[in-house]
């Protein structure tokens, strides 16, 4: 055992990790700032977090074309995929921080520990970035747990609320067991191949002498753990409760951030360890006894159908959005079925679009909750006239979530459909199309409540005045949701390049 | 009888299944968290066995990291449980129904 013969990292490569380093530094400074002012001036940690996220974002934009850089020995790799995702995560983190500043659930008079919220969001952003970069089992597990542990705390942020603490407990219990299950799978993979590195595992599997049954068990355990992260059926049961119970800005972050990070991790892990090769046409795995594409395809179909059908009977808008986000995982998994480059590119582009429209929809719920203290559909009646601008933007988000042209959601879905139809998986595309029709019903029920239903006699119809920052942020999310539906070439190009860099880089 | 690698792996698998069964059967949140710790202990055994078999330090490093993570997770889980117990006087997960439909 040659423990002394370690791989000395090349420190110059750490420069490619500046965004993550800045985020970690920001977390510490924001936390310290909150301690110094004893939680009395929450604007200080808020300002530190925003400044840190903007700086990190600037560096992430500058490093959008990194080539392939391995950092910290061989634990972490910064390549096109990582550069794409970390930009997405920093954007999501920034929107969450800004919106939380205006949210009663975080900043209200009776709330505690306001400053820590911003620090935690920054830390979670950094951990999600690492999830997209891990190329070693150790880093994979560490980054997933870092995201997990921060999210348990954030879900229970409203410490005095029964619903928030209950959401947090459910999250922590199911999160712990799913990561234990995944870890068992990882330990078996390590045992069979003798390597922690993704490419080392691949080499070990290629070398033969691997027990097929053992590999099958290991991969199924790993898939189970990762499906929990992205909330795919049958590992979705925590999602509705957690999204409903957590403060709404946190639900918005959960429904986008960790989900995208889970997909990034799955893409890298499965593509670099299990896919038959960069040039292979279809088969996703080295274990031949089981039909991997069929397994993922069934999972995808069940996930979207379940999410959409249960969303139909939700009267709480937040819970409805939780089920809708499960349905969207189903759509996203379509791109994962065949592990082709087209499919992965479609996933990347759809994640960007999904982040815009889903954050927008959740943030509308935050803005309304500030005034009405309710997320119930009955209380949304007449909102279109009480807050016309925000109402119209909510319609944009919902239409895009449905996948109606000319919104971005349509283009995103179109790419996902092409990815499966390319390989003659028509039944999956048909199920997805039917599901989109079903989703039209519940998304437009919200639109109907806001604009078409006649308010009851004597109902309060005074106009709602939202915070100016909320208008700005909703517009920042709504304009690209509309614009990406019309001018998407630039961004699909970005996704294409990110995947090409990953597939040819290793 | 000589103790071989297989014996350790069977021990780990049994430990993992014990934890899993306990997690499914018991409804007390503290016991459920303890069962998760059992499952993590099982993975630690697997890592230790294979680290020795492959003469590779990576497995041992993983175990050390795993201790830290399990401790952090347990700390957070118990903190949340304390908060819930203060309000509800119960840690039985079946009694937590504020978020059910």
Which residue, among B7, B30, B72, B66, has the nearest Cα to A141 in the 3D structure?
B66
DSSP SS3 for A320: helix
Q: Is residue A208 part of a domain?
A: no
Q: Are B99 and A173 inside 8 Å of each other by CB?
A: no
8 Å CB contact of A190 and B59:
yes
Q: Does A113 touch chain B (CB under 8 A)?
A: no
- For residue A198, is pLDDT > 70? yes
All residues at 6 or more sequence positions from A102 whose CB lies less than 8 Å from its CB, including other chains: A366, A367, A370, A467, A469, A470
Secondary structure letter of residue A16 according to DSSP: G
Task: Using pLDDT thresholds of 50, 70 and 90, give the confidence band for residue A144.
Answer: very high
Cα B11 to the center of its chain, rounded Å: 15
- Three-state secondary structure call for residue A197: strand
Stated as kind and residue range, the H or E segment containing B96 is: none
Q: Residue B1 — pLDDT band, cuts 50, 70, 90?
A: confident
Residues from chain A contacting residue B81 (CB–CB below 8 Å): 169
pLDDT for residue A217 is more than 50: yes
Contact A138 B42 (CB under 8 A): no
Taken as a whole, chain B contains a residue count of: 101
Q: Where in chain B are the domains?
A: 5-88
CA distance A452 to A497: 44
Residue with tokens 């065949």: A338
Nearest 5°: phi and psi at B28? -85, 125
With beta carbons under 8 A apart, name residues in chain A contacting B87. Answer: 162, 165
Of the CA atoms within 13 Å of residue A81, those in its CB half-sphere come to 34
Contact at CB, A180 and B29, closer than 8 angstroms: no
Instruction: Indicate the helix (H) or strand (E) that contains A376.
Output: none
Q: What is the pLDDT of residue A208?
A: 66
Tokens of A466: 């939202």
pLDDT band at A284 (very low <50, low <70, confident <90, very high): very low
Q: Specify the DSSP class assigned to residue A71.
A: E
* Structure tokens given for A14: 């750490």
Least CB–CB distance from B42: residue in A169, A184, A241: A184
Nearest-10 crossing angle of helices A238-245, A162-193: 140
Q: Give the integer Cα–Cα distance in Å for A209 and A193.
A: 9
Does residue A170 have a pLDDT over 50? yes
State yes or no: pLDDT of A183 exceeds 80: yes
CA distance B1 to chain A (A): 24
Separation between Cα atoms, residue A83 and residue A94, nearest integer Å: 17
CB pairs under 8 A between A and B: 127
Mutation site for B-interface testing, chosen from A152, A158, A180 by largest number of B Cβ within 10 Å: A180
Instruction: Please choose, from the candidates A295, A312, A299, A305, the residue with its C-alpha nearest in 3D space to the C-alpha of residue A327.
Output: A305
Q: How far is CA A54 from the centre of its chain?
A: 20
Q: Write out chain A residues lying below 8 Å of B66, CB-based.
A: 141, 183
Q: How much is the pLDDT for A361? A: 94
Share of chain A above pLDDT 70, in %: 93
Q: Encoding tokens for residue B83?
A: 């908060």
| Predicted pLDDT of residue A9 | 61
pLDDT over 80 (residue A485): no
Among B10, B62, B67, the residue to mutate for chain A (most A Cβ within 10 A) = B62
Q: Do A340 and A419 meet the contact criterion of CB atoms below 8 Å apart?
A: yes
Give the confidence band of A7 by pLDDT, cuts at 50, 70, 90. low
Q: Does the pLDDT of residue A393 top 50, yes or no?
A: yes
Question: What whole-number distance in Å separates Cα of residue B3 and Cα of residue B7?
Answer: 6
CB A191 to CB B46 under 8 A? yes
> Please, what is the average pLDDT of chain A?
86
Nearest-by-Cβ selection for A244 from B56, B83, B99: B99
Q: Which of A158-162, A258-262, A331-335 shows the lowest per-residue confidence on average (mean pLDDT)?
A: A158-162
**Res. A129: pLDDT tops 80:** yes
Q: What is the pLDDT of residue A161?
A: 84
Does the CB of A453 have a partner CB in chain B at under 8 Å? no
Instruction: Quote the minimal CA–CA distance from A412 to chain B in Å.
Output: 32
Q: What whole-number distance in Å separates Cα of residue B21 and Cα of residue A54?
A: 47
For position A283, what pLDDT does the model report?
42
CA distance A155 to A157: 5
The string of pLDDT tens digits covering residues A319-329 is 999 999 999 99
Q: Which residues of B touch A165 (CB under 8 A)?
A: 80, 83-84, 87
Q: What is the pLDDT of residues B39-77, one digit of tens each?
A: 999 999 999 999 998 888 888 999 999 999 999 999 999
Domain B5-88 listed as CATH 1.10.287.3510 = yes
Encode pLDDT of A55-87 as tens digits.
999 999 988 877 778 887 778 888 888 899 999
More confident of the two residues A395 and A277: A395
Alpha carbon distance A195, A277 (integer Å) = 19
Check CB contact of A434 with chain B, cutoff 8 Å.
no
* Residue in A371, A376, A366 with CA at minimum distance from that of residue A470: A366
Residue A446: count of CB within 10 angstroms of its CB: 22
Residue of B nearest to A244 (CA): B99
Q: What is the pLDDT of residues A436-467, one digit of tens each?
A: 999 999 999 999 988 888 887 777 778 888 88
Residue linked to tokens 């109402």: A391
Q: Mean pLDDT, to the nearest integer, of A177-185?
A: 93
Chain B residues with CB inside 8 Å of A3's CB?
57
Least confident of A91-100, A269-278, A383-392, A465-474: A269-278
Beta bridge partners of A78: A69
Contacts of A377 (CB under 8 A, 6+ apart): A315, A316, A317, A320, A445, A446, A449
On whether any CB of chain B is under 8 Å from the CB of A124, the answer is no
Structure confidence at residue A199 as a pLDDT band (50, 70, 90): confident
Q: Averaged over A132-153, what is the pLDDT?
A: 93
Per-residue pLDDT of A232-277, as tens digits, reads 888 888 899 999 999 999 999 999 999 999 999 998 888 887 765 4
Residue B78 pLDDT more than 60? yes
B62 contacts on A by Cβ (under 8 Å): 137-138, 141, 187, 190, 196
Of B36, B46, B99, the CB nearest to A187: B46
Q: With CB atoms and an 8 Å threshold, state whether A162 touches B88.
A: yes
Can you list the alpha helix ranges (DSSP code H) found in A247-387?
248-269, 292-312, 317-334, 341-372, 383-386
Provide mean pLDDT across the span A156-169.
87
Number of domains in chain A: 1
Comparing CA positions, the residue from A408, A308, A435 lying closest to residue A352 is A408
pLDDT tens digit sequence for A19-33: 999 999 999 999 999
> A183, A242, A309, A322: best mutation site toward chain B, by most B Cβ within 10 Å?
A183
Q: Give the nearest partner residue to A145 out of B53, B69, B99, using CB atoms.
A: B69
CB contact (8 A) between residue A169 and residue B16: no
What is the rounded CA–CA span in Å between residue B58 and residue A186? 13
Q: How many C-beta atoms surround the C-beta of residue A175 within 10 A?
A: 27
- pLDDT for residue A279 is more than 60: no
Nearest CA in chain B to A143: B69
Q: Does A250 map to a domain?
A: no
Predicted confidence (pLDDT) at residue A330 exceeds the cutoff of 90: yes
CA–CA distance, B52 with A204 (Å, rounded to integer):
17
How does residue A184 score in pLDDT terms, banded at 50, 70 and 90? very high
Report the residue from A168, A187, A244 with minimal CB separation from B47. Answer: A187
Cα separation, A104 vs A366, in Å, equals 8
Structural domain harbouring A384: 292-506
A505 and A67 Cβ atoms separated by less than 8 Å: yes
Q: How far apart are CA A378 and CA A459, in angstroms?
A: 11
In this prediction, residue A419 has a pLDDT band, given cuts at 50, 70 and 90, of confident
- In this predicted structure, the answer to whether residue A10 has a pLDDT above a threshold of 70 is no
Lowest model confidence (mean pLDDT) among A91-95, A150-154, A159-163, A302-306: A159-163
| Minimum distance, in Å, between the CA of residue A172 and any CA atom of chain B | 6
DSSP letters of B31-83?
A: HHHHHHHHHHHHHHHHHHHHHHHTT-THHHHHHHHHHHHHHHHHHHHHHHHHH
Residue A464 inside a domain? The answer is: yes
Does residue A278 have a pLDDT over 60?
no
Q: Answer whether residue A406 is part of any domain.
A: yes
pLDDT surpassing 70 at residue A504: no
The mean pLDDT of A158-187, rounded to a whole number, is: 90
A142 within 8 A of A151, measured Cβ to Cβ:
no
Q: Which residues on chain B are in Cβ contact (under 8 Å) with A162?
A: 87-88, 98
**Rounded-to-integer distance, Cα B17 and Cα B35, Å:** 10
The Cβ of residue A454 has, within 10 Å, a number of other Cβ atoms equal to 8
Q: Does A172 touch chain B (CB under 8 A)?
A: yes
In this predicted structure, the answer to whether residue B94 has a pLDDT above a threshold of 80 is: yes
**SS3 assignment, position A69:** strand
CB contacts, 8 Å: B23 with chain A: 177
Name which of A394, A385, A398, A395 is nearest A367 in CA terms: A394
Chain mean position to CA A488: 21
Q: What is the pLDDT, as a whole number, of residue A216?
A: 84
Residue A220 lies in a domain: no
């Amino acid at each position: 055992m040659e423990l002394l013969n370690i791989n000395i990292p090349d420190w110059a490569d750490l420069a490619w990790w500046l965004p993550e380093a800045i985020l970690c530094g920001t977390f510490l400074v924001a936390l310290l700032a909150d301690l110094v002012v004893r939680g009395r001036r929450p604007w200080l940690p808020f300002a530190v977090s925003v400044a840190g996220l903007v700086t990190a974002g600037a560096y992430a934009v500058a490093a959008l074309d990194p080539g392939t850089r391995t950092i910290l020995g061989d634990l972490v790799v910064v390549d096109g995929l990582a550069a794409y995702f970390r930009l997405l995560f920093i954007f999501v983190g920034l929107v969450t921080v800004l919106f939380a500043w205006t949210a009663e659930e975080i900043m209200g008079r009776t709330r505690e520990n306001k400053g820590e919220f911003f620090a935690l969001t920054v830390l979670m952003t950094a951990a999600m970035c690492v999830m997209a970069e891990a190329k070693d089992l150790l880093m994979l597990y560490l980054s997933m747990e870092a995201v997990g542990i921060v999210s348990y705390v954030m879900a229970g942020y409203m410490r005095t609320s029964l619903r928030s603490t209950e959401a947090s407990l459910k999250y922590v219990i199911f999160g712990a067991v799913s990561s234990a299950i995944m870890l068992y799978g990882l330990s078996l993979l390590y045992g069979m191949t003798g390597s922690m590195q993704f490419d080392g595992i691949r080499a070990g599997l290629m070398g033969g002498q691997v027990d097929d049954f053992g590999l099958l068990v290991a991969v199924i355990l790993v898939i189970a753990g990762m499906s929990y992260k992205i909330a795919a059926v049958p590992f979705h049961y925590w999602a509705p409760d957690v999204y409903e119970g957590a403060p709404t800005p946190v639900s918005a972050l959960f429904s986008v951030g960790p989900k995208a990070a889970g997909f990034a991790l799955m893409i890298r892990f499965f593509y670099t360890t299990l896919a038959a090769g960069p040039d292979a046409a279809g088969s996703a795995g080295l274990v031949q006894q089981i039909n991997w594409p069929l397994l993922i395809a069934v999972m995808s179909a069940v996930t979207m159908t379940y999410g959409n059908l249960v969303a139909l009977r939700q009267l709480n808008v937040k819970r409805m959005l939780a089920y809708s986000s499960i349905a969207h995982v189903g759509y996203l998994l379509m791109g994962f079925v065949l592990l082709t480059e087209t499919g992965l590119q479609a996933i990347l582009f759809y994640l960007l679009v999904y982040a815009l429209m889903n954050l927008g929809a959740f943030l509308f719920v935050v803005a309304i909750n500030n005034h009405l203290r309710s997320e119930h559909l009955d209380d949304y009646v007449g909102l279109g006239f009480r807050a016309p601008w925000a109402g119209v933007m909510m319609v944009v988000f919902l239409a895009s979530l449905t996948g109606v042209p000319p919104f971005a959601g349509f283009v995103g879905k179109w790419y996902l459909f092409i990815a499966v139809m390319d390989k003659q998986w028509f039944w999956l595309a048909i199920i997805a199309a039917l599901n989109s029709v079903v989703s039209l019903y519940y998304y437009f029920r919200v639109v109907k409540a806001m604009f078409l239903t006649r308010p009851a006699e004597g109902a309060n119809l005074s106009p709602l005045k939202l915070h100016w920052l909320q208008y700005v942020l909703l517009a920042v999310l709504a304009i690209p949701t509309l614009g990406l539906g019309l001018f998407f070439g630039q961004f699909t190009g970005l996704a294409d390049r990110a995947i090409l860099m990953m597939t040819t880089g290793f | 009888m000589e103790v071989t690698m297989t014996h350790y792996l069977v021990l780990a698998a049994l430990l993992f299944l014990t934890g899993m069964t306990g997690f499914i059967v018991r409804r007390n949140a503290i016991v459920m968290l303890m069962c998760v710790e059992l499952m993590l202990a099982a993975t630690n055994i697997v890592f230790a066995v294979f680290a020795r078999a492959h003469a590779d330090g990576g497995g041992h490093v993983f175990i050390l990291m795993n201790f830290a993570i399990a401790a952090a997770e347990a700390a957070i889980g118990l903190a949340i449980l304390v908060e819930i117990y203060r309000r509800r006087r119960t840690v039985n997960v079946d009694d937590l129904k504020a978020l059910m439909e």
